[in-house]
Amino acid sequence: MESEKFQVDLGNLMAFDPAHHFESIPSSREELTKACLEKGTELVQAIANVLFALPSTEDRDGPIVRLPQPTTKLPREKHFPKPKPPTKWELFAKTKGIKPRKKGKRAFDEQTGAWKRLHGYDRVNDDKDIPIIEAKLTDEPGEDPFSKRKAEKKKRVEKQEKNRLGNLKQAAKAGALPSHIQLAATALPITGTRTDVPRKSSKEELENVAGMAATATASGGKFDRKLSGEKPLKHAGKHRKFLPVVEGKGMSSQEQKQTAKILEQLMSRSSNDILDVKKAVTIFNVKKEKKRKMEKDRERSSTASKLKPKKQSLKKSSKKH
Amino acid sequence: MLKIKTPKTQRAKRALDNRAPKIVENAKKTLILHGTKTSGVVNAVLMQIYHMKRDNAVKYTKKNENIRPFESGGETSLEFFSLKTDCSLFVFGSHSKKRPNNLVLGRMFDHHIYDLVEVGVDNFKSTETFGYDKKLTPRIGSKPFFAFIGEGFESVEELKQLKEVLLDLFRGEVVENLNLAGIDHVFVCTAVSPTTVFFTHCALRLKKSGTLVPRMELVEVGPSMDLVIRRHRLPNDSVKKEATKTTSDQLKKKIKNVSSDIVQGKIGRIYIPDQKAGSIPLSNDIKGLKRERREAKKSKRAQETGENEAKKQKTCSDDHKLIGN
């Protein structure tokens, strides 16, 4: 057995016999299994020989042996964690040579005269502990110093959040975003500007775009074969409204209305005055008149009895309980 | 415009950190699923693999018709599932006239397909058909032995890849300490020909031998099948390089309680346990008395403590006598 040298990978408890080959494939299944099991036994015995020779410590469950690192290189499942790029403060501190100072757990609060923690509940230098703020010569009368302090703090916090976001964006660019943080876009970017975060198209957006692309064929997408699961177009049919050539009796001039609307928009856009009250009033009145006229016409021409009260049948029903 | 999203609970944070890329990785999880059409054999094989890898495998029961691992567009679903379940190994079973009893074994790197091996299953014998002493049943989670026989595993490319994939699939966690009493089972793979591998799973019986090393006996227990290699896909060179990178061990170990100073050189810190000076018993050697008395007192004290008698109080008259002498 010693003559055949097996490759033993102890970390994986594996043995490989490269020298074996079947001269003739065994005819029956049982013979094949028997031969394989025999060979397997040899290999396993070889591993066990090396394994039991390792120094073992006694435990209540049995002897425990320290396995070496596996020798067969298997691929990782994820990439190596990338090192984080230094933050803005870290770069600044490096250039200036500022070393991080160690702070104690408690600090002495001048206002209350007690030892308090640095952050959180009941902390040092809290804004609500200050009873009196003395006025300085530079202060303007009518200004609330307490609210001023609050506003300044809010500004500082906002600035810090902005810096933090900037640092995280840099880290995301380098691919080293901390695993528990995600950057999400809250609004659409302004057209023409770059996006820092790749925008994930939502389902509706993609459907709309797909629909638009589908109608971009010569026949408007009507005869294209649809894939299973593809929903029909949302705005199927006409996309422009053409006014009727001959207007019926009940309708007021739609063409007039259309032109009036366009004219209004043009006039309002080109006019530099802030608001011409007279003009606005006349426009409003004209609109109101037109609306009333339309309703009156509709009423007069309607033959349906929709607006008439329902006739209650005074006849008793023939059915009796 | 951008919002920073952080998990609201510590539990969620720990879960996210567990799935993040790390220097020392977790054990690979396996995703077991099947395509539109499967045969009884394929179903049985998938079930047996799932039972063998119960702790770190996920089995899907639905049919997936849009997963075609070897086609360019058919892997998006697989990658999505891999991302959701954090699985980097998968076993995809299917059955068709062209490829009967088909299994695709694949690995992922960064939740993208790394490599694939497609095998056909022949002559499958499930665990139930083997008769053996039930006491030998291998326990779930025990570390298996591997025996690869045949020069084909070294010379033929596909078999080399299959060897790696089988090792990855069944080896379980990489542990440093192994309990020798927990050696249960072995996977025996024999390269019968350049395209077929005879795969079987056996339980181990350790028998007494004269030496410290027990004699190994193999008892066929688990599924046994013939794997016929059909198609395969090797990983890209760049991805392969990225995936097989290793760091030096120095980064892992951090030596504690050792610091170095320019003046004093290397300084170490030793922590001594509490002395408990109050509860140390006093010695029996009282140096104030003369030698005979001292020795008598010592032996008496030793006797008293040995028999657990109450100590007698020394009277003043005794002391007077001593002073007089």
The number of C-beta contacts closer than 8 angstroms across A and B is 212
Which neighbouring-strand residues pair with B113?
B108
The domain spans of chain B are 27-243, 286-324
**Is the Cα torsion angle A66, A69, A70, A71 positive or negative in sign?**
negative
Taking contacts as CB-CB distances below 8 angstroms, the residues of chain A near B125 are none
Is the pLDDT assigned to residue A133 strictly greater than 60? yes
Mean pLDDT value of segment A173-187 = 85
Query: Given the structure tokens 């049943």, which residue do they identify?
Result: B137
Instruction: Check if A13 contacts B (Cβ < 8 Å).
Output: yes
pLDDT above 90 (res A17)? no
Query: Looking at the domain covering B27-243, what would its CATH class be?
Result: alpha beta
Q: Considering only CA atoms, which of A21, A36, A41 is closest in space to residue B153?
A: A21
A60 in B contact zone (CB under 8 Å): no
DSSP string of A191-246, one letter each residue: TTSPPSSPPPPPHHHHHHHHHHHHTTSTTTTSSSPPPTTPPPPTT-S-SS-PPPSS
Interface TM-score (ipTM) > 0.85: no
In this structure, chain B runs to a length of: 325
Position B211 scores a pLDDT of 84
Which residues 26-45 on chain B approach chain A with CB closer than 8 angstroms?
A: 28
B16 in contact with A, Cβ within 8 Å: yes
pLDDT at residue B284 tops 60: yes
Amino acid at B270: I
B4 neighbors A164 (Cβ within 8 angstroms): yes
Give all strands (DSSP E) within A111-180, no chain letters: 114-117
Q: What is the dihedral of CA B79, B82, B87, B88, to 10 degrees?
A: 10
- Phi, psi of A214, rounded to the nearest 5 degrees: -65, -35
Give the Cβ contact number of residue B122 at 10 Å.
14
d(CA A95, CA A78): 35
Closest chain B CA to residue A69? B176
Q: Do B1 and A185 touch (CB under 8 A)?
A: yes
Structure tokens at B139: 């326990």
Largest alpha-carbon pair distance within chain A?
Answer: 116
CA-to-CA distance for A211 and B188, rounded, in angstroms? 56
Residue A274, chain B, CB below 8 Å: the answer is: no
User: How confident is the model over A243-264, as pLDDT tens digits?
Assistant: 777 777 665 677 788 888 888 8
> What residues of chain B lie within 8 A of the CB of A21, using their CB?
150-152
Q: What is the pLDDT of residue A59?
A: 83
**Where residue B209 falls among pLDDT bands split at 50, 70, 90?**
confident
Q: Which residues neighbour B3 within 8 Å (Cβ) at sequence distance 6 or greater?
A: A183, A184, A185, A186
Nearest CB neighbour to A79, from listed B21, B188, B247:
B21
Whether B194 and chain A come into contact, CB under 8 Å, resolves to: no
Nearest to A36 by CA among B146, B198, B48: B198
User: Which pTM value belongs to this model?
Assistant: 0.67
